[in-house]
Structure 1
Amino acid sequence: MTETREKTPLESVSATTSATEVEEAVKRPIWIDTDLAVGMKRYSRPGFSDVDDGYAVLQLMKSDKVEIVGISAVFGNTRIDDAYRISNYMNEEFASSKIPVYKGAGEAINLSKIETNEAVEALAVALRKQKMRIMAVGPATNVGLLLLLYPELSSQIEEVVLVAGRRKHTDYFSIGNQGNQAKDLNFDLDNDAFRIMFENKVPVTLCPFEISNLVWVKEQDLNALAKADKGSQWLAENSRPWLAQWISQGADGFNPFDVLASHYMISPEDIISEPLNARLEIHIDDTIKGNEKDTFKQYLICDKGEGYPIKYCYQVVPEFHQKLIASFVE
């Protein structure tokens, strides 16, 4: 009796299919690591939390080019319990509960006391089965913990795509025209996680403020989303307070930071990048007004100097905005 086995996705494609068609037919496996905070009010100060993670996750859920193997929540834009709850909500409401969701780190890596969590263990299991790319759009804590506990799995990570970095420490993350400068939050909340990725020689792609600052979501875009499906409607509704917050700072829209990472995962041809080297440097904290060298912080600097080789995304194609909105409304 001849034993039969299930065909792999590649074997299921016709032998007459072209290489390009094969690539398009096979969904690339990815893992999402996110600090979702859509609709959340801030805990530490007045106002609302970022909504851009929601755009990144929903765009990937809508794409027919990727297979989301799992979603892991991490602290960052909000507390871990909130990020985990919203991750489950998006999976249930917009992905028919088909994606496993795991609770990850609630604080930065403590090098003197390394503790795992269910997200790290689930990611380890998934990587043992297959190579994957990871979109980590919150602090990279879960990825860092994985590499500390299971360094042998570093070769299974094809690429980690993150939202962080700048060319010079004087490249400010300016929000509006009121003199407010934002943190490089994902990096600032866990410097060690980035250092660990570099030391384990994981392929890293950065989508920094430099590129996200070129892309704007405005009132007319939210109006278009509000006429689409329920996922886009949910984003539009929860984005209006966030948009109002940016307008109060002198902007006429907001930068959807994390969606540059998700768009890169789906259509890298729409993102222009260059090879640079990344390293950690200490400089005066640029987010504190009137800082007289009382407070310093780490910066993730990317240039042609010494450091770990990374891919640095810095520009989008001319038709990017149309493509971005179309990915949510068509």
Structure 2
Amino acid sequence: MSQIEEVVVCAGRTPGLPFRPGLELLSVGDYNFEMDPESFRILFDAGIRMVLSGYECSIYTFLGKTDIEFLNNSTESDQWVYTQLRAWQQFNEELFGVDGFVPWDTTPLGYLTHPNYFKYYHDIPVKINMRENDAENTTGDKPYLEVSYDYTDTNWRATYAYKTLPGFEEIVIEDIKRASMRNRTE
């Protein structure tokens, strides 16, 4: 662990923030955290520098049908990517009521490649709190990975990306276009 400079992950929230994408018809979980809360405890207890960039930051990046329409052409690689993204958009329309999707895991990557396109809370206290499950069709309590400067009873700290600034969505689209162009030339 002494060789780890930092861990950047798509997870975390501010207290009371429900994860309700799209038309807010459905609440979802913080899956990267909820599938293995113990791993987060281990990292924070070890003092690993953590960067959290989850739902709150990612929701500002939304790819709709028109954002990927440029891939709907005759080249095989473009058509394959378009088909994958379009299916994802349609699936999200069924779940969340909008024809598009949030590419959640692009914001942690964006922190590494374009850090100036985000707003952050630095050295913000982090806790794992047990609360009633807010995801649909579930009961009981679940752990929440939460950040707040009000938490004074924890030694855990993180950098928390809470907002994507204008221009990041265009960077994601341009990266898809560049990858598509590379596939055409190979």
Q: Same fold (TM over 0.5)?
A: yes
Deviation at 1:182, TM superposition (A): 0.7
Deviation at 1:250, TM superposition (A): 1.2
- Give, in whole Å, the separation in 2 of the partners of 1:230 and 1:200: 47
What amino acid is the match of 1:317?
L
Deviation at 1:263, TM superposition (A): 1.7
- Give, in whole Å, the separation in 1 of the partners of 2:108 and 2:81: 17
- Give, in whole Å, the separation in 2 of the partners of 1:231 and 1:256: 20
Q: Which protein is bigger by CA-based radius of gyration?
A: 1
What amino acid is the match of 2:103?
P
Other-structure match for 2:7: 160
Other-structure match for 2:182: none
Other-structure match for 1:329: 177
Residue 156 and residue 178 in structure 1: after superposition, are their counterparts in 2 closer, same or farther (change >3 A)?
A: closer
What amino acid is the match of 1:266?
T
Deviation at 1:271, TM superposition (A): 2.0
Residue 257 and residue 279 in structure 1: after superposition, are their counterparts in 2 closer, same or farther (change >3 A)?
A: same
Q: Does 1:195 align with 2:41?
A: yes
Q: Is the 8 A contact 1:229 1:329 kept in 2?
A: no
* TM-score, scaled relative to structure 1: 0.49
Aligned residues: 173
Query: Which of 237, 240, 243 is equivalent to 2:83?
Result: 237
What's the CA shift string for 1:282-303, capped at 9, x where partnerless?
Answer: 00011145x7xx5101100111
- Give, in whole Å, the separation in 2 of the partners of 1:231 and 1:311: 37
Other-structure match for 1:255: 102
Deviation at 1:224, TM superposition (A): 2.3
What's the CA shift string for 1:139-196, capped at 9, x where partnerless?
Answer: xxxxxxxxxxxxxxx221111110111111x211113336311110011100000000
Other-structure match for 1:312: 160
* TM-score, scaled relative to structure 2: 0.84
What amino acid is the match of 2:146?
I
Residue 246 and residue 299 in structure 1: after superposition, are their counterparts in 2 closer, same or farther (change >3 A)?
A: same
- Give, in whole Å, the separation in 2 of the partners of 1:233 and 1:262: 25
> Looking at both structures, which has the greater relative contact order when contacts are Cα pairs under 8 Å and sequence separation is at least 6?
2
Q: Does 1:184 align with 2:30?
A: yes
Residue 263 and residue 232 in structure 1: after superposition, are their counterparts in 2 closer, same or farther (change >3 A)?
A: farther
- Give, in whole Å, the separation in 2 of the partners of 1:284 and 1:227: 47
Other-structure match for 1:296: 141
> Which stretch shifts more, 218-227 or 199-208?
218-227
Q: Is the 8 A contact 1:232 1:329 kept in 2?
A: no
- Give, in whole Å, the separation in 2 of the partners of 1:164 and 1:230: 34
Give unmatched runs, 5+ long, in structure 1.
1-153
- Secondary structure class of the residue paired with 1:180: coil
Alignment of 1:72-151 (within 5 A): none
- Give, in whole Å, the separation in 2 of the partners of 1:229 and 1:197: 44
Residue 161 and residue 230 in structure 1: after superposition, are their counterparts in 2 closer, same or farther (change >3 A)?
A: farther
Deviation at 1:316, TM superposition (A): 2.0
Other-structure match for 1:277: 125
Residue 296 and residue 278 in structure 1: after superposition, are their counterparts in 2 closer, same or farther (change >3 A)?
A: same
Over the aligned positions, Cα root-mean-square deviation in angstroms equals: 2.1
- Secondary structure class of the residue paired with 1:241: helix
What's the CA shift string for 1:242-299, capped at 9, x where partnerless?
Answer: 211222231232111001111222121222212111110100011145x7xx510110
- Give, in whole Å, the separation in 2 of the partners of 1:231 and 1:265: 27
